[in-house]
Every structure is written in structure tokens, then in C-alpha cells.
């Protein structure tokens, strides 16, 4: 443990009681990182430091009449110990009988699997939303069952969905499709012209999410997709402002190691916004808080140690560490390195 989190002297404890560590996260990558952070903090002496996770909701959609929230569910299942470790997403021991029936009716997306166990989460969530709960409230109710050991907050209660403008390979015309259609059906192989946060004009981050940033002792950006996970959260009115004004150090962990997106297709997203697939370029894209950006510190992989002086020149404190989330222990060590960097920039 690094010492910045001293639970005997909690920082600015707001009425929400969220002092502790706040993490901005997408789905699978974010969930793995938070699991390591939770492990690190639970093994420390003096009791557990509270963790609040602000989850991306840009991947959410209405499908077969149900509200599906892929990133919230990845976080919930992984932290609740119910995820399929081999496949990397969804519930362990899953079956797909209902999905096959829905396909027979021509309902839903045949290329987007909704497992039977997973469907129960979507039904439960939709039922709560129909009863008038906000997504934040519904997520808290779902967490009562899974006990993720962190406070899980959707970044917004409003429906803001990531769409991708593509040039239709058949018609040659450009049109927007839902992010999940681009990602899962087309495997991000159809070039993205741009990303659209549909509904953002009417949306705001929740007060709970903004307060979790304002009241935190440390804010971490998980090594999640910089464009469609972290980028989508930061685009919500209220989030960037909170990141720029919080008294807490803000430290990000690179999702790019040695010029590679590790798992997944983040490079296709970065290409669309004109950012190179490198730890340095993503750090500079987030930018130093001292220069109007959103981070104070940027943890890169050992493979990218050469970028550290360049980041310093850009006003971003940087350090190199092993960033492969191979298992929980390795990920806990990575979270420890992020907190050490936070403690360096906090001084």
C-alpha cells in the first residue's frame, strides 16, 4: 500500500459519503481493474477504503423490449463473482434457449447473444425502470444481490447511446448504427467516420457521479477504452467539470501497451478520432489538468517507459509499471502503482 489512502483522515467527506477512491470504468477492462483495486485495498490494514465506480452507459440499448446495460453488467458480474472467466463476458454457466426462441420470432439481433441468466438481469432492471426507479436506483437494487463490494454508479440516468457513423459497404451512403452493432456484428471492421453520443443534448451526469469525483481522495481512470468507455463518460455534462475541479489527484492507467490495444479493438476507435494507438498519444489526448485536460498522472506499461519524459514535458506526471491484467494479484500490483503515482502528484 502506498499511503495516500489514510482512512483515519478521510478527505473532503461530502454528504454522499463517497470519500475514498473513485474509478471511471467501461466494461470488461474496467471490471478487471476494479477487481484488482478491490483486492489491493481489502488486503491493507485498517479496514477497507470505499471504492465508487462510475460506469459507462453509452453501450446501453433497448433490445427485445428490455434495457440492456453491457458495461454495468460486466462490472456487476465480475465483481460479484458470477462472470464467465473463459469467455471474458456474461454469466458463468450460461444457456441461450430464450435467445433462440426470440430469433425464431425475428425479434432482437441474432448476432447479439442474450443468455438466459443474463436476460433475467435485463428483465429485472426493466421492471424497476418501469416502476419509476432511476437507473442509479435500479443498479443499487441489482447490487444488493451481487454485492460487488463497491458502489456502482451509472454515469448518467439519461439515455445517451453511442452510435457510430459508418459508410454502408453496400449503398456507399453514410449512416449511424448503434455502437454494439458496429462492435459485435461488424467486429469494428467497417471504418468509423465518427462517434455520436445520441441524446447527450438532453443529458447530464448524475449528481451522485459528479459528487463521487468531487469528494474523492483519489480519482482513477481504469485502462478502459479511451473513446467509447472513458471518452463517453467524460463527454457527459458535469463529468469533465468535476474532473477539472476536484481536489483529488486524477490518475489514468494506459489501456494501450507497446502500441497495442491488448484485448479488443480500441485501435479502431482511436483511429476514428485521429489519435495514435500509443500510451503517449492517449495520455496526451486526456491532457494535463494544469493545461485544461483531465489527468495529473498517467501510468504506462514498462514497454512504454520511453514516453515518460514526453509526458512530463506535457505536464503529466508519469511512471512505468507492468500493466498486464493477467490475474488478480498482477492487477492489484498495477492498482498499487497507480495509487503511488497519485500520492506523488498529490504532494
Could you list the residues that contact ligand GDP (CB under 6 A)? 25-30, 71, 74, 222-225, 229, 254-257, 261-264, 266, 323-325
Q: Which is nearer to ligand GDP, 314 or 323 (CB)?
A: 323
Q: Min. distance of Cβ 56 from Ca ion in angstroms?
A: 6
What is the closest distance, in whole angstroms, from the C-beta atom of residue 19 to ligand GDP in the complex? 24
Minimum separation from the CB atom of position 27 to Ca ion (A) = 4
Closest distance between ligand GDP and the C-beta of residue 55, in Å? 9
Q: Which does 28 bind (CB under 5 to 8 A by kind): ligand GDP, Ca ion, none?
A: ligand GDP
For Ca ion, give the closer residue by CB, 11 or 223: 223
Residue whose CB is less far from Ca ion, 67 or 289: 67
Q: Is 27 in the site for Ca ion (CB under 5 A)?
A: yes
End-to-end CA distance of the chain: 17
Interaction partner, residue 263 (ligand GDP, Ca ion, none; CB < 5-8 Å by kind): ligand GDP
231 binds Ca ion, rule: CB under 5 A: no
- Residue 26 found at the interface with Ca ion (CB under 5 A): yes
How many chain residues are in contact with Ca ion, going by CB under 5 A? 4
Residues 54-83 that bind Ca ion (CB under 5 A): 59, 71
90 binds Ca ion (CB under 5 A): no
Kindly tell me which of 118 and 215 has the beta carbon lying closer to ligand GDP. Answer: 118
Binding site for Ca ion (CB under 5 A): 26-27, 59, 71
Amino acid at each position: 500500500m502506498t499511503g495516500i489512502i489514510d482512512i483515519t483522515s478521510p478527505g473532503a467527506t461530502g454528504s454522499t459519503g463517497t470519500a475514498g477512491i473513485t474509478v471511471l470504468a467501461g466494461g470488461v477492462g474496467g471490471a478487471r481493474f476494479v477487481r484488482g483495486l478491490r483486492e489491493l485495498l481489502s488486503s491493507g490494514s485498517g479496514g477497507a477504503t470505499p471504492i465508487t465506480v462510475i460506469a459507462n452507459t453509452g453501450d446501453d440499448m433497448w433490445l427485445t423490449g428490455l434495457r440492456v446495460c453491457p458495461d454495468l453488467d460486466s462490472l456487476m458480474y465480475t465483481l460479484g463473482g458470477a462472470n464467465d472467466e473463459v469467455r471474458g463476458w456474461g454469466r458463468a454457466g450460461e444457456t441461450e434457449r430464450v435467445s433462440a426462441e426470440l430469433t425464431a420470432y425475428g425479434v432482437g439481433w441474432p448476432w447479439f447473444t442474450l443468455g438466459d441468466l443474463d436476460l433475467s438481469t435485463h428483465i429485472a432492471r426493466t421492471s424497476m425502470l418501469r416502476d419509476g426507479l432511476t437507473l442509479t436506483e435500479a443498479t443499487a437494487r441489482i447490487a444488493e444481490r451481487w454485492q460487488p463490494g463497491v458502489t456502482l454508479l451509472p454515469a448518467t440516468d439519461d439515455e445517451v447511446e453511442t452510435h457510430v457513423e459508418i459508410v454502408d459497404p453496400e449503398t456507399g451512403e453514410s449512416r449511424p448504427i448503434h455502437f454494439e452493432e458496429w462492435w459485435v456484428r461488424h467486429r469494428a471492421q467497417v471504418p468509423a467516420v465518427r462517434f455520436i453520443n445520441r441524446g447527450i443534448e438532453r443529458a447530464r451526469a448524475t449528481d451522485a457521479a459528479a459528487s463521487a469525483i468531487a469528494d474523492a481522495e483519489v480519482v482513477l481512470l481504469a485502462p478502459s477504452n479511451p473513446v467509447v468507455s472513458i471518452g463517453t463518460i467524460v463527454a457527459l455534462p458535469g463529468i469533465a467539470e468535476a474532473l477539472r475541479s476536484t481536489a483529488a489527484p486524477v490518475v489514468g492507467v494506459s489501456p494501450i501497451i507497446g502500441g497495442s490495444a491488448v484485448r479488443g479493438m480500441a485501435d479502431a476507435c482511436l483511429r476514428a478520432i485521429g489519435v495514435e494507438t500509443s500510451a503517449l498519444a492517449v495520455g496526451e489526448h486526456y491532457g494535463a489538468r494544469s493545461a485544461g485536460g483531465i489527468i495529473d498522472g498517467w501510468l504506462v506499461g514498462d514497454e512504454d517507459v520511453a514516453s515518460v519524459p514526453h509526458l512530463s514535458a506535457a505536464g503529466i506526471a508519469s511512471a512505468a509499471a507492468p500493466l498486464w491484467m493477467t490475474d488478480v494479484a498482477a492487477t492489484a500490483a498495477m492498482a498499487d502503482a497507480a495509487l503511488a503515482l497519485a500520492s506523488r502528484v498529490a504532494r
